[in-house]
């Protein structure tokens, strides 16, 4: 059976020693008083919750799955899920970074980021139930009417109700412009919504008395395509003015999907048969409102894969130390045993270090992004808010796609460490792989993320946002360039930073002549960009570690960090060489293929 230990030490390192979040928070009136001890205490408790309450339900939830009672349209979640949720609400975990105006604790997003990383390590399927609520909360908080906020936000904040995002329909996923669900205006200002949605995560369950569905639909006079989509809040049970539950709304679970993984989460087909809803934001501006949810969700998906990478790594490491098989290539190591533990083998270490480096790099990047989100929302200086928002926008597709692709490689590698046992359910490794797979697909496939990055976020503003990140890289290179011990980290970073500008210009130029050049290069480009960000953070982390070691700190943590950074630059970073070649090889070999696909 797998185990999980919250990586609190590494979180503390990233938050306090690398990002120095307390300094950042001093500039944010809402968080000026939050110190490291408070953050650490919350994360320690959060880690306990994850390890003790939801982690033990991970394998059983996968095995048991969710069951729909077709006669009542009610879904029974796996044994223990409902109780765990009650504890989650009772512990106030739902409210962590929510607005105090609606009962939230008002903690910075980055604390929630770390808490959710642990929750995702512990049980991705379970964590999606409260996780999806965040999107609904954010959308209503940003775009809801006062009445909507009054009715829904306190319940979403407390966790008393959960929320969903009802976007996808059978014929439209990526292309929401095709959606057909209809909203008919009623005399009382409400709308009657009718249509069919699929792939609705946490779309129906038995954990809360109500579910707040946020539904994309078309008004009768809406223009065609994505400019005619509006957002509605459609609760499972209508909500009376006093907040009590009213009539059951005809928004039903029509079926549950049989999936590769995340079996503990109810992925619902939702039949909406004239359900009563109210408009969120402006008519026909639903996509804009939806993007508030979507961006949060994309960061959340990256975080899911970060969690899976960490927990897979921990278990593979334990197995590699425990399992004895063959002797080291350099001679017997465990003389008292009939064979050496498999961690003596270079390739076993390579698989473990791959996962570890992906976890540590991902954690640094995701926390950096979450702090930017805090600054985007709460910094008093508008320019800082704008700059932070721009950087979050740039990093969001990288967090989503790079971390989720890395997690696929990492969980697969960790499963491989177990040999045949990795293929057996009881060991838990194959579940991490199956669960990790969805993260590359939902909330915009990783191809879509790459087009968002290269097409919109980079070429869309002539590389301005990328230049801002490039400035951070340049500053680090300048600051550390004189430090000989940092050369092994700074040189490849500086090299890639330089290359990146040329590389981007080149693709931009080709793309201007032929947009397919952007589509052909985007996926490779995103991975190169991901490595630029990882190289930047591994260099920063190595710098902190070197300083501590130089100052006489003997905590082996710093030595470990340094070795992981060295591994990263030696074994993972060089992927950029091939990626730039394949990106540069252009679109012709892809598009001149009519004979192939005839």
Active-site positions read: 443
- Judged by beta carbon, residue 206 or residue 575, the one nearer a second copy is 575
Query: Which residue of 51, 142, 222, 339 would you call a contact of a second copy, by CB under 8 A?
Result: 339
Among all chains, which residue has been given the structure tokens 């697909």?
441
Look at strands 74-76 and 162-166 and give their pairing: unpaired
Site for a second copy in 184-203 (CB under 8 A): 198-199
Q: Which helix (H) or strand (E) holds 371?
A: helix 346-378
Structure-token pair, residue 532: 């630029």
Q: Say if residues 567 and 439 touch (Cβ distance below 8 Å).
A: no
Query: Which residue of 38, 79, 174, 332 would you call a contact of a second copy, by CB under 8 A?
Result: 174
- Judged by beta carbon, residue 247 or residue 322, the one nearer a second copy is 322
Length of the chain: 598
Q: Which stretch binds a second copy (CB under 8 A): 211-219, 227-235, 277-285, 339-347?
A: 339-347
Q: Which stretch binds a second copy (CB under 8 A): 79-87, 154-162, 247-255, 432-440?
A: 432-440
Q: Any contact of residue 167 with a second copy (CB under 8 A)?
A: no
Q: Any contact of residue 67 with a second copy (CB under 8 A)?
A: no
Based on C-alpha coordinates, what's the Rg of the chain? 24
CA-based angle 348:352:358, to the nearest 5? Answer: 145
Q: Any contact of residue 288 with a second copy (CB under 8 A)?
A: no
Q: Provide, rounded to whole angstroms, the least separation between the CB of residue 548 and a second copy.
A: 13
DSSP state of 324: B
Query: Which residue of 121, 181, 404, 450 would you call a contact of a second copy, by CB under 8 A?
Result: 450
Q: Say if residues 469 and 318 touch (Cβ distance below 8 Å).
A: no
Residue 227: count of CB within 10 angstroms of its CB: 12
Q: Provide, rounded to whole angstroms, the least separation between the CB of residue 378 and a second copy.
A: 35
Q: How far is CA 132 from CA 25, 43, 121, 200, 213, in A?
A: 27, 21, 17, 10, 10
Q: Provide, rounded to whole angstroms, the least separation between the CB of residue 93 and a second copy.
A: 28
Q: Any contact of residue 408 with a second copy (CB under 8 A)?
A: yes
Q: Any contact of residue 245 with a second copy (CB under 8 A)?
A: no
Three-state secondary-structure class, residue 469: helix
Q: Provide, rounded to whole angstroms, the least separation between the CB of residue 321 and a second copy.
A: 7
Q: Provide, rounded to whole angstroms, the least separation between the CB of residue 489 and a second copy.
A: 12
Query: Which residue of 123, 309, 314, 412 would you call a contact of a second copy, by CB under 8 A?
Result: 412
Site for a second copy in 126-165 (CB under 8 A): none
- Judged by beta carbon, residue 182 or residue 434, the one nearer a second copy is 434
Q: Which stretch binds a second copy (CB under 8 A): 40-48, 233-241, 444-452, 532-540?
A: 444-452
Q: Provide, rounded to whole angstroms, the least separation between the CB of residue 379 and a second copy.
A: 36
Q: Which stretch binds a second copy (CB under 8 A): 70-78, 84-92, 186-194, 349-357?
A: 349-357
Exposure class string for 296-306: b at 16+ Cβ within 10 A, else e: bbbbbbbbbbb
- Judged by beta carbon, residue 172 or residue 389, the one nearer a second copy is 172
- Judged by beta carbon, residue 376 or residue 524, the one nearer a second copy is 524
CA-based angle 275:279:280, to the nearest 5? Answer: 125
Q: Any contact of residue 506 with a second copy (CB under 8 A)?
A: no
Q: Any contact of residue 527 with a second copy (CB under 8 A)?
A: no
Biggest alpha carbon distance in the chain? 83
Provide CB contacts within 8 A for 105, sequence distance 6+: 92, 95, 96, 97, 98
Site for a second copy in 532-571 (CB under 8 A): 556-557, 559-560, 563-564, 566-567, 570-571
Site for a second copy in 308-337 (CB under 8 A): 317, 321, 324-326, 328-330
- Judged by beta carbon, residue 86 or residue 591, the one nearer a second copy is 591
Q: Which stretch binds a second copy (CB under 8 A): 125-133, 275-283, 380-388, 580-588?
A: 580-588
Q: Any contact of residue 352 with a second copy (CB under 8 A)?
A: yes
Site for a second copy in 363-392 (CB under 8 A): none
Among all chains, which residue has been given the structure tokens 């109700």?
161
Provide CB contacts within 8 A for 542, sequence distance 6+: 486, 489, 561, 562, 565, 566
Exposure class string for 473-504: b at 16+ Cβ within 10 A, else e: beebbeebeeeeebeebbebbbebbeebeebb
Q: Any contact of residue 449 with a second copy (CB under 8 A)?
A: no
Site for a second copy in 477-496 (CB under 8 A): none
How far is residue 305's CA from residue 297's CA, in Å, rounded to a whole number?
A: 13
């Amino acid at each position: 059976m797998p185990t999980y230990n919250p990586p609190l030490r590494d979180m503390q390192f990233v938050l306090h020693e690398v990002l120095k979040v307390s300094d950042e928070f001093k500039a944010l009136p809402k968080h000026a008083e939050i110190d490291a001890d408070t953050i650490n205490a919350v994360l320690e408790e959060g880690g306990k919750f994850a390890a003790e309450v939801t982690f033990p339900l991970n394998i059983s939830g996968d095995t048991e799955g969710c069951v729909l009672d077709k006669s009542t349209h009610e879904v029974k979640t796996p044994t223990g899920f409902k109780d765990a949720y009650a504890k989650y609400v009772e512990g106030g975990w739902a409210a962590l970074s929510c607005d105090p105006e609606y009962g939230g604790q008002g903690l910075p997003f980055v604390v929630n980021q770390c808490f959710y990383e642990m929750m995702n390590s512990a049980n991705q399927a379970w964590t999606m139930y409260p996780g999806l609520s965040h999107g609904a909360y954010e959308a209503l908080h940003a775009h809801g009417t006062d009445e909507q906020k009054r009715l829904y936000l306190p319940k979403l904040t407390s966790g008393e109700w959960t929320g969903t995002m009802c976007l996808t329909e059978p014929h439209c996923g990526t292309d929401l412009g095709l959606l057909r669900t209809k909203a008919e205006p009623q005399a009382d200002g409400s709308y009657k919504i009718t249509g069919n949605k699929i792939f609705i995560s946490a779309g129906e369950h038995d954990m809360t008395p109500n579910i707040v569905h946020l539904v994309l639909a078309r008004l009768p006079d809406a223009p065609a395509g994505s400019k005619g989509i509006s957002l509605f809040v459609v609760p499972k049970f209508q909500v009376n003015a006093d907040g009590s539950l009213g009539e059951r709304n005809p928004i039903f679970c029509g079926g549950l999907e049989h999936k590769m993984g995340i079996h503990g989460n109810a992925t619902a087909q939702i039949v909406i048969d004239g359900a009563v809803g109210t408009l969120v934001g402006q008519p026909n501006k639903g996509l804009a409102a939806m993007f508030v949810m979507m961006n949060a969700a994309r960061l959340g998906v990256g975080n899911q894969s970060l969690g899976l990478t960490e927990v897979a790594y921990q278990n593979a490491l334990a197995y590699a130390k425990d399992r004895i098989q063959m002797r080291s290539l350099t001679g017997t190591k465990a003389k008292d045993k009939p064979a050496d533990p498999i961690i003596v083998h270079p390739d076993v270490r390579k698989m473990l270090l791959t996962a570890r480096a992906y976890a540590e790099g991902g954690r640094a990047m995701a926390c950096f992004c979450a702090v930017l989100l805090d600054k985007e929302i709460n910094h008093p200086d508008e320019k800082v808010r704008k700059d932070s928002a721009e950087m979050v926008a740039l990093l969001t597709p990288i967090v989503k796609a790079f971390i989720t692709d890395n997690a696929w490689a990492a969980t697969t590698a960790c499963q491989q460490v177990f040999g045949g046992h990795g293929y057996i359910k009881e060991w838990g490794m194959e579940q991490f792989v199956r669960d990790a797979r969805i993260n590359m697909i939902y909330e915009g496939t990783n191809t879509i993320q790459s087009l968002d990055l290269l097409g919109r976020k980079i070429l869309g503003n002539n590389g301005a946002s990328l230049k801002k990140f490039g400035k951070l890289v340049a500053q680090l290179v300048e600051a550390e360039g004189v430090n000989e011990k940092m050369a092994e980290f700074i040189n490849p970073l500086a090299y890639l930073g330089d290359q990146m500008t040329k590389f981007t210009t080149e693709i931009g130029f080709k793309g201007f002549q032929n947009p397919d050049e952007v589509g052909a290069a985007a996926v490779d480009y995103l991975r190169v960009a991901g490595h630029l960000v990882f190289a930047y953070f591994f260099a920063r982390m190595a710098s902190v570690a070197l300083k501590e070691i130089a100052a006489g700190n003997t905590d082996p943590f710093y030595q470990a960090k340094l070795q992981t950074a060295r591994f990263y630059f030696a074994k993972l970073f060089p992927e950029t060489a091939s990626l730039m070649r394949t990106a540069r090889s252009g679109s012709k070999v892809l598009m001149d293929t009519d004979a192939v696909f005839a």
